[in-house]
Amino acid sequence: MTGAGMRMSSLFVRTLRDDPADAEVPSHKLMVRAGLIRRVASGIYSWLPLGNRVLRNVAQIVREEMDAAGAQEVILPIAQPLDLWKQSGRDEAYGPMMFRVQDRKEAWYAMSPTAEEVVTTLVAGEYSSYKDLPVNLYQINWKYRDELRPRFGLLRAREFLMKDAYSFDADLAGLQASYDAMYDAYGRVFTRCGLTFRSVKAQSGEIGGDTSQEFMAVAAIGEDAFVWCEQCDYAANTEAATRRAHEGVAIPEQPAREPVHTPDMPGIDVVAEHLNTTADLLMKAIAFDVDGDLVLALVPGDREVNEYAVFAAFPGRSVRLYTDADFAMRSDLPKGYIGPDFAGATHTIADSSIRAPHGWVTGANEVDHHAKHMTLGRDFTPSEWAEIVLVESGDACPSCGSPLRIDRGIEVGHVFQLGTKYSEALGASFTDEHGAEHLMQMGCYGIGVSRILSAVVEEHHDDGGIAWPASVAPYQVHIVVLPGRGDTAATVTRAAEDLYEGLRARGVDVLLDDRDASPGVKFADADLLGMPVQLTVGAKGVGRGVVERKVRATGERDELDLATALDALTA
């Protein structure tokens, strides 16, 4: 197949040297400067030819992986009767976030933010037997959310391209299989798009909540912090993240417990300095109320307790941090001076790092007093052990032990087990082999197709502009022609045209900068637009029978013989 070709002299693009005033993040600035998108209204953009080519490439990767995973492509309407949304209760749930339009008969329509209602109604109308299931339908279509504050270009837009898939199964085992197939396909999509990403289990409010995972692309400007491992696929929300447990170690013989007077010393660091030690050798005992019981959480003085981990350690019970009012009710509990041996605690739950080979400085259960040389097993014994500190960057990965990282992430995908919420509200049922009726088990799976462009640019750019991964680049090769004014100009132009036609004939998509512009302008635009390979065809080089190749992402340069350049470029 012939590769696509485009001449810069005809391409509908005007690059900008300066950042647009309303852009705050690199991807937004660069996509406007490179002429991929133009703002029409707040959070609403026109897609210019180069932007459209990248969008199509990303959509095609998504399409190929969805098809390979057994999903079938459909197109569902953008304008959806609002009555459907009332039936599911989501008209109210979305509130002002949803665009609503009225037709000439004054009937209301929702501008689709997703399509559970329409697709469930569709499947319910066509399928009624267990023999029909499973089925997974997807679309790649424009979606709408009336964001209060659209920003960051395509990252929080009001109109965006999204892939949404919906699976229908006869039972929970089937739902799990459909969900797993989508999960695996998502990994392939984001890998092919050139993203560094991890999947993160979404925090579920209550026990037994819906199963759902978010795919986060690592990006400094991401909206959510998360913990991840570079060496394996471990990743988690900051609340759910844990580190590798500390092993028990032998504690050398310690001096006897020694009370010390520490008056008027607010905070761990002041106490540590007064006692000529460091915060990591102090221990905090943090009071929690667990169904009316006092529970102490023990963590090193330089670490923060993870309240969610303490909640998780007492499943099914009501857990909360002690408040000033709680302390006021208990005159025996000296706030700020609680020790791990406080007799009034029902439980003491200790982080595994409390198993350290040294004694601890702890509260002495008396206002203005601490105790030194508090020794595990001799002076205090926790009733339970767990990982209850908030993970910090550099902590050991619970899966492989490598140092964990904390970064921000852009959510580029989400897989969700819906169960029967929509099939119940919209009547999607089937009869089994015995004639009994059941509700279909549903899953829904979203990918932010236009959002992926922002994530890719956030990861693949430098001061000069975008550096597209080949898989999504608008063109693979950008030929910069510098014919000059001399009598060799025609020869140089001929050489560039030959490369342009030759590459296209071999199926390569090529952009040719044939404009009458200065070398500086052409090179700056080539870096800004970010095609993976730049070829410079100039008078000096052509005189020696060579062209210069530059790899945009690395800046690596070499020279190719004109005679064999086509082979070298398509090898």
Binding interface with Zn ion (CB under 5 A): 229, 231-232, 234, 397, 399-400, 402
Q: What is the DSSP letter of 285?
A: E
> Edge to edge, what strands does the sheet with 100-102 contain?
79-81, 108-111, 100-102
CB of 391 to Zn ion, least distance (A): 12
Q: Which residues contact 233 (CB under 8 A, 6 or more apart)?
A: 198, 199, 399
Strand (E) or helix (H) holding 326: helix 324-329
Between 267 and 403, CB nearer to Zn ion: 403
Q: What is the DSSP letter of 125?
A: H
**Nearest 5°: phi and psi at 5?**
-130, 150
Between 232 and 425, CB nearer to Zn ion: 232
Strand (E) or helix (H) holding 443: strand 441-448
Between 198 and 550, CB nearer to Zn ion: 198
Are 96 and 87 spatial neighbours (Cβ–Cβ below 8 Å)? Answer: no
Are 210 and 179 spatial neighbours (Cβ–Cβ below 8 Å)? Answer: no
Give the C-alpha separation, 312 to 205, whole Å.
11
Fill in the amino acid letter for 502. Answer: G
CB of 462 to Zn ion, least distance (A): 29
CB of 399 to Zn ion, least distance (A): 4
Beta partners for residue 533, in sequence order: 477, 551
Are 118 and 415 spatial neighbours (Cβ–Cβ below 8 Å)? Answer: no
Between 157 and 397, CB nearer to Zn ion: 397
> Is 225 strand, coil or helix?
strand
What is the separation, in whole angstroms, between the first and last Cα of the chain?
17
Between 78 and 400, CB nearer to Zn ion: 400
Between 195 and 397, CB nearer to Zn ion: 397
Alpha helices in 402-442 (DSSP H): 421-426
CB of 189 to Zn ion, least distance (A): 23
Between 236 and 418, CB nearer to Zn ion: 236
CB of 448 to Zn ion, least distance (A): 27
CB of 177 to Zn ion, least distance (A): 27
Between 215 and 322, CB nearer to Zn ion: 215
CB of 395 to Zn ion, least distance (A): 11
CB of 243 to Zn ion, least distance (A): 11
**Nearest 5°: phi and psi at 206?**
-115, 165
Are 190 and 413 spatial neighbours (Cβ–Cβ below 8 Å)? Answer: yes
CB of 233 to Zn ion, least distance (A): 8
Between 231 and 564, CB nearer to Zn ion: 231
CB of 199 to Zn ion, least distance (A): 14
Q: What is the DSSP letter of 389?
A: B
How many residues are given for the chain? 571
- Return the axis-axis angle of helices 49-68 and 172-192, rounded to nearest 10°: 140
Between 397 and 466, CB nearer to Zn ion: 397
Q: What is the DSSP letter of 506?
A: T
Q: What is the DSSP letter of 268?
A: H
